[in-house]
Amino acid sequence: MAKKQFKAESKRLLDLMIHSIYTHKEIFLRELISNASDAIDKLYFRSLTDSSVGLNREDFEIKLAVDQDKRLLTVSDNGCGMTKEELENNLGVIANSGSFGFKNEHKDQNDIEIIGQFGVGFYSAFMVSSKVTVISRAFGSDEAYRWESAGADGYTIEPCEKEHFGTDIILTIKEDAEGETFGEFLETYRITSIVKKYSDYIRYPITMDVEHEHLKEGSKDEYETVIEHETLNSMIPLWKKNKSEITTEEYNSFYKDKFYDYTDPLKVIHSKTEGSATYNALLYIPGKAPFDYYSKEYEKGLQLYSNGVLIMERCADLLPDHFSFVKGLVDSQDLSLNISREMLQHDRQLKLIATSLDKKIKNELVKMLKDERETYEKFYKCFGLQLKIGAYTGYGMNKEHLKDLLMFYSAEQKKLITFEEYVGAMKEGQEYIFYAAGQSVEQIALLPQTELVRDKGYDILYLTDDVDEFALRIIDEYSGKKFKSVSANDLNLATEDETQEIKKCKEDHKDMFDFMKTALDGKVKNVTLSSRLKTHPVCLSSEGEISIEMEKVLNAMPV
């Protein structure tokens, strides 16, 4: 049987598309600039292989112009332009992408970075325009055409004049309506900031004539308006430059500009990765924790770019929670974007990148710990708590990954040390990694329980954050050595003789202990002789899984 073709109610389809694909109206400018950049890319590419084109890289430009009175915003390029047929096919057929076709034809040239692929971006112009006029002249042709449309009702094409090859997209910006403003898209400041946000790394200059007030020459208080032809984008993404060409200054000011911080970052991680996931990453470890870091308000995430065009401002899936403090961006060509290019289609590539970043960040921290102890300690003061929380949450899913990054205060060395350092300094015959929990280092040092362990010459890790003891319980052991609270009942510190002596003593004084227990009337579970006291007459200890300190934390938690 002959198959019938689907028909589409193209008016409705276009209407749907214009109004439901994008969440942010401002995206239209990103789409038009991306198209202009693609058109230039195509011509530039031709100029590389065909010397008769006679154009150099510096000759290309994307120009923006505003006419406030007529409510016009124009995006012009001197790229390949479109013939009459191309105007029909590319702008008259929804979801037809000339750029995608071009990309396919030149698949083997990996230096082309064409952005377009879906054949719908152009129509986003109708979100903000009551009319869109396209004047285009294909390179090498002397005919120009005007394509014009007010949206779903259709379009017209007619011959016209155009001095140079390339394309002008002229938007008649909608009048402000109730609840919706469009006038902002005619404001220089707004346009500049949209370009900066989404198109800063388009590889050709995006220019605009911008008015500036200048002090008149020779005058102290008289101003004049000067129009300057400005380039709005920075063009070369910092992360695409070679590391050796970038100064610390550049890295740092990029960070402060982009991520709104006053403090220099502690560390820059800049990497180009190829393999199962191909991407560029520029990551920063901040110099201090943001004020809301340990609160629910804090949102983790990295900026996500595809071919230098911003796709997502904060992509949370790229960062594991335990490294949520990392700021930065990822640029990848491999992402399968969804049609609005605001989100990703599949998360498979994203997962690959996320896994690779997780490893990278960890390695960088391990290296910092080894080579730059002071910097690491600074880092740890800000974000160590997050690492400990990371080791504890998710049933310790990440404990192996994180345990080498953790540090605790050492009673012996009077500073933060790692588990590795603790175990490395253990005494002959020492069975456990001892720890004691409390409110502060000073307070823990006064605990009667710490005295005997210290007396035996064993070091103790002092745990002062609520999560610490929970984390250690989950981590369970390091290098075959179990963690042991100094408050536990089974420290096994006594020698054989001492044990015998204690046993005898316990029996001798059994009546007194029973009496004390009755007198304390249910307030304690048991009263017994302790072998762990030296200068203190008595101490409280806990039995079972939950320590006294943990119990305090649990009791303080909201139910």
Q: Which is nearer to ligand ADP, 79 or 308 (CB)?
A: 79
Size of the site for ligand ADP (CB under 6 A): 23
Q: Is 232 helix (H, G, I), strand (E, B) or coil?
A: coil
- In order of 106, 107, 544, the CA distances from 120 in angstroms are 21, 22, 65
Return the structure tokens found at 544. 């079972």
To the question of whether residue 183 is assigned a binding role by annotation, the answer is: no
Return the structure tokens found at 446. 């006064």
Closest CA to 30 of 336, 335, 312, 327: 312
Candidates 73-81, 139-147, 257-265, 317-325; binding stretch for ligand ADP (CB under 6 A): 73-81
- Applying CB under 6 A, does 311 fall inside the site for ligand ADP? no
- Applying CB under 5 A, does 116 fall inside the site for Mg ion? yes
Binding at 77: pick from Mg ion, ligand ADP, none (beta carbon under 5-8 Å per type): ligand ADP
Instruction: Please pick, from the candidates 21, 29, 31, 391, the single residue that binds ligand ADP as defined by CB under 6 A.
Output: 31
Residue 406 · residue 419 · CB < 8 Å: yes
Instruction: Please pick, from the candidates 27, 29, 36, 319, the single residue that binds ligand ADP as defined by CB under 6 A.
Output: 36
Radius of gyration of the chain (CA): 34
Binding at 547: pick from Mg ion, ligand ADP, none (beta carbon under 5-8 Å per type): none
Q: Which is nearer to ligand ADP, 65 or 426 (CB)?
A: 65
To the question of whether residue 449 is assigned a binding role by annotation, the answer is: no
Candidates 119-127, 240-248, 391-399, 465-473; binding stretch for ligand ADP (CB under 6 A): 119-127
Beta strands in 161-217 (DSSP E): 166-173, 206-215
Instruction: Please pick, from the candidates 79, 81, 98, 121, the single residue that binds Mg ion as defined by CB under 5 A.
Output: 121
Return the structure tokens found at 296. 């629910």
The alpha-helical segments, DSSP class H, found in 372-475 are: 373-396, 399-402, 419-424, 441-445, 448-455, 468-475
Distance CA 193, CA 190 (A): 5
Instruction: Give CA 388 to chain center in angstroms.
Output: 21
Q: Which of the residues 329 through 358 are near Mg ion (CB under 5 A)?
A: none
Residue 416 · residue 409 · CB < 8 Å: yes
- In order of 17, 173, 202, the CA distances from 12 in angstroms are 8, 22, 33
To the question of whether residue 492 is assigned a binding role by annotation, the answer is: no
Candidates 110-118, 146-154, 311-319, 508-516; binding stretch for ligand ADP (CB under 6 A): 110-118
Instruction: Please pick, from the candidates 17, 21, 73, 82, the single residue that binds ligand ADP as defined by CB under 6 A.
Output: 82
Residue 466 · residue 432 · CB < 8 Å: no
For residues 389-400, one letter each, b for 16 or more C-beta atoms within 10 angstroms of the residue's C-beta and e for the rest, the string is bbbbbeebebbe
Instruction: Please pick, from the candidates 133, 167, 386, 485, the single residue that binds ligand ADP as defined by CB under 6 A.
Output: 167
The amino acid at 396: G
Binding at 91: pick from Mg ion, ligand ADP, none (beta carbon under 5-8 Å per type): ligand ADP
- Closest distance to Mg ion from the beta carbon of 195 (Å): 16
- In order of 30, 197, 239, 333, the CA distances from 320 in angstroms are 30, 25, 22, 22
To the question of whether residue 167 is assigned a binding role by annotation, the answer is: yes
Candidates 119-127, 142-150, 174-182, 374-382; binding stretch for Mg ion (CB under 5 A): 119-127
Instruction: Please pick, from the candidates 18, 21, 29, 35, the single residue that binds Mg ion as defined by CB under 5 A.
Output: 35
The amino acid at 51: S
Candidates 4-12, 91-99, 191-199, 293-301; binding stretch for ligand ADP (CB under 6 A): 91-99
Distance CA 215, CA 204 (A): 32
- Applying CB under 6 A, does 98 fall inside the site for ligand ADP? yes
- Applying CB under 6 A, does 308 fall inside the site for ligand ADP? no
Candidates 34-42, 174-182, 316-324, 387-395; binding stretch for Mg ion (CB under 5 A): 34-42
- Closest distance to ligand ADP from the beta carbon of 314 (Å): 24
- Longest Cα–Cα distance of the chain, Å, equals 114
- Applying CB under 6 A, does 79 fall inside the site for ligand ADP? yes
H helix count then E strand count, the chain: 16, 19
Binding residues for ATP: 31, 35, 77, 82, 90, 97-98, 117-122, 167, 341
**Binding interface with ligand ADP (CB under 6 A):** 31, 35-36, 39, 77, 79-82, 90-91, 97-100, 116-122, 167
Binding residues: 31, 35, 77, 82, 90, 97-98, 117-122, 167, 341
**Binding interface with Mg ion (CB under 5 A):** 35, 116, 121
